[in-house]
Amino acid sequence: MSALPRPADVLPHRPPFLFVSEVTAVEPGVSARGHWELSGDEPFFAGHFPGRPTLPGVLMVESLAQLGGIAVLLDPRYEGKLPLFGGIERARFRRQVVPGETLELEVAMDRLSARAGKGHGVASVGGKTACEADLLFVIVDGGAG
């Protein structure tokens, strides 16, 4: 793939629920890398937590899932499909992420079939792991559009 896609050109997600700023590498159906730039203006920071804004862990997991969705949807076998969460296993949160930081994202697919898949994602800041999880998903009809 010559040019890397913009996340919104692949995913049906839109702000304020699009948590991948840029795709930096992708091997369709296999893996993807990207990042989420946190400006500090995101509305969840105001309430999580007042005086000590911290990125919610569930949104870190969601950003990994969105990046994994990009890797899946760029595989021609899944054109017109939509990967949905089927489960989250072994999620671990190891570091706080705060406004102004860039969350580096990496997802590798462990299994991928016509109806489901499993991947492993790692989110980090400055080379230090913030979150990692195994992501299970089901593939349904429907997709962006």
8 half-sphere exposure, CB direction, 13 A CA radius? 6
Of 74, 76, 71, 58, which is closest to residue 19 (Cα–Cα)?
58
Beta strands (DSSP E) in 9-79 are 22-27, 31-37
104, 21 contact by CB (below 8 A): no
SS3 44: helix
Task: Mark whether 120 is an active-site residue.
Answer: no
Neighbours of 55 (CB within 10 A): 26
Cis amide prior to 49 (ω within 30 degrees): yes
Active-site positions?
A: 48
